[in-house]
Chain A
Amino acid sequence: MAFQRKNTKKRFYQRRKVCRFCADSTLEINYKDGKALRPFITERGKIIPRRITGTCAKHQRTLSTAIKQARTIALLPYVGKLS
């Protein structure tokens, strides 16, 4: 089995994700811009983990505070609806 697995090169290649805020320094994380934060929350309104979006740790921290602030002032939903 082990031998077989070694021979069958079934490892699929995944492109390394890059933090989009590191790649483009002009992008700013701001809680007032609810639309810009939309890609980082699910339809249900949950914050998407950085292993999915590829955001770096530093920017994910600022991003999550921004999303939480936006929720407080009703720019983003706490609980989104399934559309």
Chain B
Amino acid sequence: MRMYETIFIADPDLQDEVRKDLFEKFKNILVQEGGILANFDDWGNKKLAYEIAKKSRGHYVCMTYGGTGALITELERNFRLDDKVLKYMTILLEKDIDPEALKQQIEAEAQAEAEAKAETEAAKTEAAKTEAAKTEAAKTEEPKAEEAVETAADETGEVEAGTEEIEEDK
């Protein structure tokens, strides 16, 4: 079995449901042809370096998977048939991998991810506490120094951005 990575650019103007169906379809093809999906990474809408089919933006998706050559031909045939896919590119990552080892690796990664999530949640609550403390401190120091308030505001902004990301992950 070989390890591949495929990036495809989907139409940016699709409805969310249609897009979901499209991704499901390719995932199904992958499983049907005996592939093992290791990672499905949705990059979202990005600006293209050059226009493709009169479009200057594209929805990037990166898939990492183990499979055979037959899987690639089938997958790329479907990419070509589908109008919703603007462009695709497949790259060979590793020539010879053990399917069992890959499965185990995926499981281990999933576990690690779950642990990391729990940790970030713990960190989140802690960050909220420190944030509250900081704002209080800033309030008390407000008449003394304006700079301190500014830095505190910056930091709280960062923390907020971090929590937003975590929420999106969920």
Contact = CB atoms under 8 A, between A and B. Distances in A.
B49 A77 contact: yes
A79 B50 CA distance: 8
B52 interface: yes
21 contacts: A32-B7, A32-B62, A34-B49, A69-B89, A69-B91, A71-B49, A72-B89, A73-B7, A73-B9, A73-B60, A73-B89, A74-B9, A74-B48, A74-B49, A74-B50, A74-B52, A74-B58, A74-B87, A77-B49, A78-B49, A78-B50
A63 to B, nearest CB: 16
Nearest to A72: B89
Interface residues of A, number: 13
Nearest to A75: B49
Interface of B: 7, 9, 48-50, 52, 58, 60, 62, 87, 89, 91
Nearest to B8: A73
- The CB with the most chain B CB atoms within 10 A, among A73, A75, A79, is that of A73
A28 to B, nearest CB: 14
Interface majority SS (helix, strand, loop, mixed), chain A: loop
Contacts of A78: 49-50
A35 B28 CA distance: 33
Contacts of A69: 89, 91
Contacts of A75: 49
Contacts of B49: 34, 71, 74-78
A79 B91 CA distance: 23
Nearest to A70: B49
- The CB with the most chain A CB atoms within 10 A, among B7, B48, B52, B87, is that of B7
A36 to B, nearest CB: 14
A75 B87 CA distance: 12
Nearest to B46: A75
A51 to B, nearest CB: 26
